[in-house]
Protein backbone atom coordinates (compact mmCIF):
# COMPACT_ATOMS: atom_id res chain seq x y z
CA UNK A 1 0.00 0.00 0.00
CA UNK A 2 1.32 3.42 -0.95
CA UNK A 3 1.73 6.27 1.50
CA UNK A 4 -0.09 9.51 0.63
CA UNK A 5 3.22 11.07 -0.45
CA UNK A 6 4.09 8.13 -2.70
CA UNK A 7 0.65 8.37 -4.31
CA UNK A 8 1.08 12.11 -4.85
CA UNK A 9 4.49 11.63 -6.48
CA UNK A 10 2.99 8.96 -8.75
CA UNK A 11 0.22 11.36 -9.75
CA UNK A 12 2.74 14.11 -10.55
CA UNK A 13 4.72 11.70 -12.75
CA UNK A 14 1.56 10.58 -14.58
CA UNK A 15 0.54 14.19 -15.26
CA UNK A 16 4.09 15.03 -16.44
CA UNK A 17 4.00 12.14 -18.93
CA UNK A 18 0.52 13.15 -20.09
CA UNK A 19 1.96 16.45 -21.37
CA UNK A 20 5.51 15.38 -22.30
CA UNK A 21 4.46 12.71 -24.80
CA UNK A 22 3.45 15.27 -27.45
CA UNK A 23 6.99 16.23 -28.50
CA UNK A 24 9.88 13.97 -29.62
CA UNK A 25 11.63 14.18 -26.23
CA UNK A 26 9.37 12.25 -23.86
CA UNK A 27 11.51 12.96 -20.79
CA UNK A 28 11.26 16.76 -21.10
CA UNK A 29 8.58 19.40 -21.34
CA UNK A 30 8.83 22.08 -23.99
CA UNK A 31 7.86 25.63 -23.00
CA UNK A 32 4.51 25.14 -24.70
CA UNK A 33 3.87 21.82 -22.94
CA UNK A 34 4.80 23.33 -19.56
CA UNK A 35 2.52 26.30 -20.17
CA UNK A 36 -0.33 23.98 -21.12
CA UNK A 37 0.27 21.79 -18.03
CA UNK A 38 0.29 24.80 -15.70
CA UNK A 39 -2.83 26.34 -17.22
CA UNK A 40 -4.86 23.13 -17.25
CA UNK A 41 -3.65 21.41 -14.08
CA UNK A 42 -3.03 24.46 -11.87
CA UNK A 43 -5.71 26.79 -13.21
CA UNK A 44 -7.58 27.09 -9.90
CA UNK A 45 -4.38 27.81 -8.01
CA UNK A 46 -3.43 30.52 -10.50
CA UNK A 47 -6.82 32.22 -10.13
CA UNK A 48 -6.46 32.32 -6.34
CA UNK A 49 -2.87 33.59 -6.46
CA UNK A 50 -3.89 36.47 -8.74
CA UNK A 51 -6.21 37.75 -6.00
CA UNK A 52 -3.38 37.84 -3.42
CA UNK A 53 -1.41 41.12 -3.39
CA UNK A 54 2.11 40.87 -4.88
CA UNK A 55 3.70 41.96 -1.60
CA UNK A 56 2.06 39.07 0.26
CA UNK A 57 3.22 36.54 -2.34
CA UNK A 58 6.77 37.90 -2.16
CA UNK A 59 6.76 37.62 1.63
CA UNK A 60 5.55 34.03 1.35
CA UNK A 61 8.38 33.20 -1.05
CA UNK A 62 10.99 34.88 1.14
CA UNK A 63 9.86 33.08 4.31
CA UNK A 64 11.91 30.03 5.26
CA UNK A 65 11.79 27.84 8.36
CA UNK A 66 15.57 27.64 8.10
CA UNK A 67 16.23 31.38 8.51
CA UNK A 68 17.83 32.14 11.86
CA UNK A 69 15.81 34.23 14.29
CA UNK A 70 17.62 37.29 15.65
CA UNK A 71 20.99 35.99 14.53
CA UNK A 72 20.53 32.66 16.30
CA UNK A 73 20.39 29.33 14.52
CA UNK A 74 17.54 27.08 15.57
CA UNK A 75 18.46 23.51 16.55
CA UNK A 76 17.54 20.87 13.98
CA UNK A 77 14.81 18.48 15.10
CA UNK A 78 15.47 14.81 14.45
CA UNK A 79 12.92 12.60 12.67
CATH code for the structural domain at 4-62: 1.10.238.10
- State the DSSP code for 21: T
Give me the pLDDT at residue 49, please. Answer: 59
Burial of 3 per CB tally in 10 Å (0-12, 13-18, 19+): exposed
Tens digit of each residue's pLDDT (9 = 90 or more) over 1-51: 899 999 999 999 999 999 888 767 778 888 888 888 988 998 887 776 566
Q: Where are the domains of the chain?
A: 4-62
Alpha helices in the chain (DSSP H): 4-20, 31-41, 43-51, 54-62
Tens digit of each residue's pLDDT (9 = 90 or more) over 55-69: 665 666 666 666 655
> What residues pair up with 72 in beta bridges, in sequence order?
69
Amino acid sequence: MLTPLEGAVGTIIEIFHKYSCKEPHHDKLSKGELKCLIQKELGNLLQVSQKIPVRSRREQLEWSPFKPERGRVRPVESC
